[in-house]
Chains A and B, each alone.
Chain A
Amino acid sequence: MSPKRIVLRFGTDISVKPIVYRLVKDYDLVVNIVKADVNPQKEGTMILEVTGDQSEDGLNYLRNLGVLVQNLTQEIVRNDEKCVMCGACTGVCPTGALYMERPSMEVRFDGDQCVFCQLCVKVCPMWAMEVRL
């Protein structure tokens, strides 16, 4: 059985709950945490690979808690032809995946830090950040 890749987004109330433990203990899932940004003071994001017969039940448990569960079938890419390296995206990127290199002031994109929030897709004035399926 191939693992299911999912993105979880949740509020500060969930950050303090042991949701991954529950997925393993109650639903017998194999969970690999690909990326996690969890902080009791702010909105949390997690990217998981889950494997197991009860994966849908486990995800329903998360949904009932108020976690936004999305399948991860897409990635964010930068269209280098369109990007003018202004830097507007760096002010809204929540994880620092888009950042300014100093002193050159060139904009860099580290896809490994991206949590697919898609804010950059919306704010890029040149439409240079694209969602690839």
Chain B
Amino acid sequence: MSVEKTYAEINTKIKAGKAIVVTAEELITLVEEKGLTKAAQEVDVVTTGTFAPMCSSGAFLSFGHTKPRMKMQKVWLNGVAAYTGIAAVDAYIGATEMHEDDPLNSNYPGEFRYGGGHVIADLVARKPVKLKALAYGTDCYPRRNLETTITLDDINEAILFNPRNAYQNYNCAVNLTDCTIYTYMGMIKPHMGNANYSTAGQLSPLLKDPHFKTIGVGTKIFLGGGIGYVAWNGTQHFPSMIDVEGKELGSAGGTLAVTGDLKQMNPRWLVGTSYLGYGATLSVGIGIPIPILNEEIARYAAKKDEELFAPVVDYGEAYPSFTPGNLGYVSYADLKSGKITVNGKEISTAPLSSMPRAREIAATLKGWIQKGEFQLTEPVKTLPSPADGFTAHSIKED
């Protein structure tokens, strides 16, 4: 018999402490033991998790007014510029902005030791952060200079707002050229000397809801160790199902914009991150609950590493030149085994996305829901799905 549940029914069970909650990996085992129909009937919520570098992250900070008042025009936090073209004492610190004095790639490959992601991590760790601001002065905002030290607790608001996180799937990076390259996928040795990938596979949130049946605007999530929400689709949200010769190999292209109060987040789940020769960013922990409303949702939530695939892409030549195509697909089961075969060559693999941390997130979220502390939210708006067929355009140049 098919199963149909509503958000209200599931939340009633959560409040009563009676909801059956499992992690996405536990669901896989359950489906193998009992079959899909039985598992879908039994389970109310599946939790997912991912912890990885997520560019397109940042935080809105509202510092509070100075005396006399100041309309900040340029702002630096620990020497990292924040964008303040928003309002008098509001700024946005972006994860990939570098320290003003960073040598960048002038001594290639650069180390990129401290950037906006590190500032956010320092703030959430309650470390003192140096705030410097300049202004041109107005009649209502006369002050022109400010240098002080702030902490996260001193400022009025700090709102993490990440325009593109939780990439549904990602490339497995190799290098076909003769030289070592330094990329946002790590150091890649020549002649396919190694392969790096960056997805939690069978625990990864958007791989478990490829048609965006449950994850939408307003979905309450685990974000940076606290509570967050899906704000919108992420930028570059072009979801699709991977179809190779009529065989479905999982999904790709979906992203989320997420937001939450930085003050209730935790430094374990927001970590400043540097990539040799590339730049700095922020590693973010995200966990999303998937309500098992019916069997179809359970079927996708139970997809395992053997059924989920990543495209292998040459970052030596094809990626930088924006040449379409790939070198084939490999399953997450193969990627996690440590060896893949591409063009007949066996290559060792390494992840950039932490599976132990992804598991910890899924387990933490499961605990919150089981204890009745975390209820599910029905999306107030669904996100574009593969059926909408949105595709990316490149920049039109004159």
Chain A residues packing against B (C-beta within 8 Å):
84-92, 100, 102-106, 119, 122-123, 125-127
Chain B residues with CB under 8 A of A105: 336, 351, 354-356
Question: Top 6 closest A-B pairs, CB basis?
Answer: A91-B350, A105-B355, A87-B351, A86-B354, A91-B194, A125-B273
Chain A residues with CB under 8 A of B276: 122-123
Chain B residues with CB under 8 A of A84: 51, 271, 283, 354, 357
- Contact with B348, one of A91, A106, A122 (Cβ below 8 angstroms): A91
**Is A102 a contact of B356 with CB atoms below 8 Å?**
no
- Contact with A106, one of B52, B271, B283, B356 (Cβ below 8 angstroms): B356
Minimum CB–CB distance from A31 to chain B (whole Å) comes to 32
**Is A127 a contact of B350 with CB atoms below 8 Å?**
no
Minimum CB–CB distance from B54 to chain A (whole Å) comes to 12
- Contact with A127, one of B113, B189, B349, B352 (Cβ below 8 angstroms): B113
Query: How far is it, in angstroms, between the C-alpha of A91 and the C-alpha of B348 when the chains are bound?
Result: 7
In terms of DSSP, what is the predominant structure of the interface of chain A? loop
Chain B residues with CB under 8 A of A104: 355-356
Known pairs A84-B283, A88-B186, A102-B336; A127 contacts B274 (CB<8 A): yes
Minimum CB–CB distance from A89 to chain B (whole Å) comes to 8
Interface size on B, residues (CB 8 A): 32
B28-69 residues at the A interface, CB under 8 angstroms: 51-53
Query: How far is it, in angstroms, between the C-alpha of A68 and the C-alpha of B325 when the chains are bound?
Result: 43
Q: Which residue of A lies closest to B180 (CB)?
A: A92
Give the one of B196, B336, B351 with max A CB within 10 A.
B351
Q: What 6 new A-B contacts, CB under 8 Å, besides A87-B352, A104-B356, A125-B283?
A: A84-B354, A85-B357, A86-B353, A87-B350, A122-B276, A123-B187
**Is A85 a contact of B354 with CB atoms below 8 Å?**
yes
Chain B residues packing against A (C-beta within 8 Å):
51-53, 109, 111, 113, 186-187, 189, 194-196, 271-276, 283, 336-338, 348-357
Chain B residues with CB under 8 A of A122: 109, 111, 276
Chain B residues with CB under 8 A of A88: 186, 196, 350-352
Chain A residues with CB under 8 A of B189: 92
How many inter-chain contacts with C-beta < 8 Å in the A-B complex?
77
**Is A126 a contact of B271 with CB atoms below 8 Å?**
yes
Minimum CB–CB distance from B263 to chain A (whole Å) comes to 22
**Is B338 a contact of A102 with CB atoms below 8 Å?**
yes
Q: Which residue of B lies closest to A83 (CB)?
A: B354
Minimum CB–CB distance from B95 to chain A (whole Å) comes to 13
Known pairs A84-B283, A88-B186; A125 contacts B338 (CB<8 A): no
**Is A92 a contact of B187 with CB atoms below 8 Å?**
yes
- Contact with A102, one of B109, B271, B274, B337 (Cβ below 8 angstroms): B337
Chain A residues with CB under 8 A of B275: 125
Query: How far is it, in angstroms, between the C-alpha of A26 and the C-alpha of B186 when the chains are bound?
Result: 45
Chain A residues with CB under 8 A of B351: 86-88, 100, 105
- Contact with A125, one of B53, B336, B348, B356 (Cβ below 8 angstroms): B53
Minimum CB–CB distance from B389 to chain A (whole Å) comes to 34
* Chain A to chain B contacts (Cβ below 8 Å), 30 pairs: A85-B356, A86-B283, A86-B357, A87-B350, A88-B186, A88-B351, A88-B352, A90-B350, A91-B187, A91-B194, A91-B195, A91-B196, A91-B348, A91-B349, A91-B350, A92-B186, A92-B194, A100-B351, A103-B336, A104-B356, A105-B336, A105-B355, A105-B356, A122-B111, A125-B186, A125-B273, A125-B283, A125-B352, A126-B274, A127-B113
Chain B residues with CB under 8 A of A100: 338, 350-351
Query: How far is it, in angstroms, between the C-alpha of A55 and the C-alpha of B189 when the chains are bound?
Result: 37
Q: Which residue of A lies closest to B189 (CB)?
A: A92
Chain A residues with CB under 8 A of B186: 88, 91-92, 123, 125
Query: How far is it, in angstroms, between the C-alpha of A103 and the C-alpha of B25 when the chains are bound?
Result: 12
Query: How far is it, in angstroms, between the C-alpha of A91 and the C-alpha of B189 when the chains are bound?
Result: 9
Chain A residues with CB under 8 A of B273: 125-126
Query: How far is it, in angstroms, between the C-alpha of A90 and the C-alpha of B51 when the chains are bound?
Result: 17
Chain B residues with CB under 8 A of A123: 186-187, 276
